A and B are shown apart, each in its own frame.
Chain A
Amino acid sequence: MEKPLTQHINLQQPLSLKEYEAKGGYSAVRKALKMTPQEVQKMVQESNLKGRGGAGFNTGMKWSFVPMGENAPHPKYLVANADEMEPGTFKDRLLLEGHPHQLIEGMIVAAYAIQADISYVFLRWAYKKAAALIRKSIAEAYEAGYLGNDILGSGWSLQMHLHTGVGRYMCGEETALLNALEGKRATPRAKPPFPQISGLFGKPTIVNNVETFCCIPHIVNNGADWFKGLSKSEDAGTKIYGVSGKVNRPGAWELPMGVTVRELIEEHAGGMKNGYKIRGILPGGASTDFLTVDHLDVKMDFKSVAAAGSRMGTGTMIVMDDATCPVGFVHNLQHFFAQESCGWCTPCREGLPWVERILLSIEKGEGRTEDLELLQMHAQFLGPGNTFCALAPGAMEPLQSALKYFRDDFERHIHQKGCPY
């Protein structure tokens, strides 16, 4: 089984530029520079690579909206979203700490495809080890002539900077991230215009997730068909999946797109710890709907998880065991979302704290039967179409599915006037 993204991962001593070159590293930059930018875009589009940050949009298609040619506005920007903060998600940390040059190579190829001039790695504050490694790797890439002016004699130039954030989940939303890079509050922007047309400082900008960029060198080296062939499903490539919670071997693994939930939990994560059973699963981070033991044979790809009523999201799942109170679990999630709401639009700013307080009162045994209807109502009011960005709708996904699958638990709290766990 091929594992292109993680074959060179080394968490103790990641490859230096020279070591990576010896293993074929940066050959994708050399190859891409011999192609036209449009050819690179087309190749990535045909590979059917979908964004690994959670939204799952075709990456090459996303790039294709950037104005190209002599009359295109400059500077154009390219940003790696390394602000990994979705609760339960730890896949980009692995790529950043284990093989930083793969990200940089992918960013250079992507920047060439859209003819960007300036690029940023937007890294969350907490990833200290990654920051040091990326800083060192960018310096090595400049020294080797893969960054800077007239890259490998192509006439094309690219600068790259590391930007470390100062907190807030909202920075992971791509337009909020751009506001943060401009030194503003990280609130989302209205779309359209989309960042491809008017992004950072009003210029054409592409923002992609770390894992997405890490796929790019392999697609350019091996072709679109090879990338599609890595997968077990309609969605192409491999995926970094993860499992956390009370399992025997929590971790992250690169596997063909489309492995089942069961395979991830039972084989890779070693099954549940002794004495615990699976109660629910958030398949792709905090802002995805619960799946249950009835969904263990669902394939982990964008389409199959959607058909099961949830989203693949980041592909890093959180397992809720039978000794963990679902009400307390969902309260923890809503506490996070209420705290991280940027306050820009009313349903999210006002609604999430109400949801959090209602859940807390139920957990403490002070809930009323009608509170469940109130929660259900919020799940609709804060759902898709009523807010500026996806934060509140994402927050409602685990809430609405918890009300569906674990309603008995909510009712027991109310009737027994306390938490039975």
Chain B
Amino acid sequence: MLSESEIHAIDHEVSLVPHKKAAVIEALKVVQQHHGWVSDEKLEEVAAYLDMSPAEVDSVATFYNLIFRKPVGRHVILLCDSISCYVMGYKKLYEALHEHLHIKFGETTPDGRFTLLPNACLGCCDHAPALMVGEDLYRDVQVQDLENILAQYK
């Protein structure tokens, strides 16, 4: 069941748009804020609440790369793999993260601490390479900085 606070937040989003369906992305964001990801069960509940079919909601959910349809770790690392970060050596950061955390892109550490994902251009090209951990942005990142960055996230 959608919790009271989820329903409250979704109702608010519905009130801002001309018809219920238009709030579906916002509703998925609400669910993800509460649970970290969007499970099949939650997706069906959102669909029922907005008078949509689960397939219709899933077509939207799977389109956007920051709606997670699989469980993710407590902290999601988004490593920019676009062109300026490519030129400035994001691959070295990837290799170091892989060595440190023993996970590849798309994987989560067994202790559920980190998920590692590639991300399209973070708009920090003048401070490449760049990455985000959760909502925090790190710029001009060098391999030797990684250990201190990761240590901040338990």
Instruction: Report A's interface with B, CB cutoff 8 A.
Output: 84-90, 92-93, 124-129, 161, 165-169, 180-186, 201, 242-246, 250-252, 282, 286, 316, 318-321, 324, 328-329, 332-333, 335-336, 339-340, 342
**Smallest CB gap from B119: residue in A:** A126
**B125 & A320 in contact (Cβ 8 Å cutoff):** no
Verify A332–B83 contact, CB threshold 8 A: yes
Whole-angstrom CA separation of A299 from B65 in the bound complex: 37
Which chain A residues border B103 with CB–CB below 8 Å? none
CA distance A252 to B84 in the complex (A): 14
Shortest Cβ gap from B46 to chain A (Å) = 11
Please tell me which stretch of B14-22, B107-115, B141-149 contacts chain A, meaning at least 4 of its Cβ atoms lie within 8 angstroms of it: B14-22
A125 cross-chain contacts in B, Cβ below 8 A: 66
Tell which of B64, B66, B87, B122 has the most Cβ of chain A within 10 Å: B87
B39 CB contacts on chain A under 8 angstroms: none
A333 touches B67 (CB 8 A): no
Contact A185 B59 (CB under 8 A): yes
CB contact between A244 and one of B29, B60, B126, B135 (< 8 Å): that residue: B126
Write the B114-152 contact mask toward A (1 if CB under 8 angstroms, else 0).
000001111111111000100101000000000000000
The CB with the most chain A CB atoms within 10 A, among B17, B65, B82, B128, is that of: B82
- Contact assessment for A89 and B127 in the assembled complex, using a CB-CB cutoff below 8 Å: no
Q: Judging by beta carbons under 8 Å apart, are A184 and B87 in contact?
A: no
Out of A186, A250, A339, A342, which one reaches B120, CB within 8 Å? A339
B88: CB under 8 A from chain A?
yes
Question: Which are the 6 A-B pairs with shortest beta-carbon distances?
Answer: A244-B125, A87-B82, A167-B65, A250-B126, A167-B66, A166-B64
Q: How far is it, in angstroms, between the C-alpha of A84 and the C-alpha of B123 when the chains are bound?
A: 7
Q: How far is the CA of A184 from the CA of B28 in the complex (A)?
A: 12
B24 adjacent to A183 (CB under 8 Å): yes
Which chain B residue has the least Cβ–Cβ distance from A340?
B120
- B88 smallest CB distance to A (angstroms): 7
> How far is B84's CA from A246's CA once the two chains are assembled, in angstroms?
9
Closest to B132 in A: A126
- Provide a sorted-by-A list of 19 A–B residue pairs whose CB atoms are within 8 angstroms: A88-B83, A88-B125, A125-B66, A126-B132, A166-B64, A166-B66, A167-B120, A201-B18, A244-B125, A244-B128, A246-B87, A282-B83, A286-B82, A318-B83, A318-B87, A319-B87, A320-B87, A328-B86, A333-B83
Q: Residue on B with the closest CB to A339?
A: B120
Residue numbers in B under 8 Å from A336 (CB-CB) = 81-83, 120-121
**Chain B residues near A251 (CB-CB < 8 A):** 126
Instruction: Give the docked Cα–Cα distance between A183 and B30 (Å).
Output: 14
Contact present for B63 and A183 (CB under 8 Å):
no
Bound CA span A316–B123, Å: 11
Interface size class of B (residues with CB under 8 A): 35 or more
Q: Is there a chain A Cβ closer than 8 Å to B23's Cβ?
A: yes
Inter-chain contacts of A168 with B (CB < 8 A) = 63-65
Interface-central residue, B17, B26, B63, by most chain A CB under 10 Å: B63
Is B83 a contact partner of A286 (Cβ separation < 8 A)? yes
Measured between alpha carbons, how far is A319 from B67 in the docked complex, in Å? 33
| A321 neighbours in B (Cβ, 8 Å) | 87
Tell me if B87 and A186 are in contact (CB < 8 A).
no
Asked whether B25 is an interface residue with its Cβ less than 8 Å from the other chain, the reply is: yes
B67 and chain A: residue at smallest CB distance: A166
Chain A positions within 8 Å of B21 at CB level: 183
User: Which residues, 59 to 78 on B, are CB-close (under 8 Å) to A?
Assistant: 59-60, 63-67, 78
B87 near A324: Cβ-Cβ < 8 Å = yes
Q: Name A242's contact: one of B63, B64, B126 (CB within 8 Å).
A: B126
Inter-chain contact B87/A329, CB cutoff 8 Å: yes
Residue of B nearest to A202 (CB): B18
Measured CA separation A166–B64 after assembly (Å): 6
Chain B residues lying within 8 Å of A246, measured Cβ to Cβ, are: 87-88
Chain A residues near B124: list those with CB within 8 A. 90, 93
Please indicate the chain B residues that have their CB under 8 angstroms from the CB of A93 in the complex.
123-124
Supposing A251-B126, A318-B125 touch, asked if A88 and B82 sit within 8 A by C-beta, the answer is: yes
Given contacts A201-B18, A250-B127, contact A88 B120 (CB under 8 A): no
- B125 contacts across to A, CB distance below 8 A: 87-90, 242, 244, 250, 316, 318
| Most A-side CB within 10 Å, residue of B60, B121, B125 | B125
Q: How far is the CA of A201 from the CA of B17 in the complex (A)?
A: 9
Residue of B nearest to A180 (CB): B25
Q: Chain A: which residue is nearest B13 at the CB level? A: A183
In the complex, how many angstroms separate the beta carbon of A2 from the nearest chain B beta carbon?
23
Q: Which residues of A contact B135 (CB under 8 A)?
A: 128
CB closest chain-A residue, reference B16: A161
A167 to B127, CA, bound (A): 21
Closest chain B CB from A24 CB (angstroms)? 29
On chain B, the residues within 8 Å of A319 by CB distance are 87
How many whole Å from A333's CB to the nearest CB in chain B? 6
CB of A309, distance to nearest CB on chain B (Å)? 20
Closest CB in chain B relative to A217 CB, distance in Å: 24
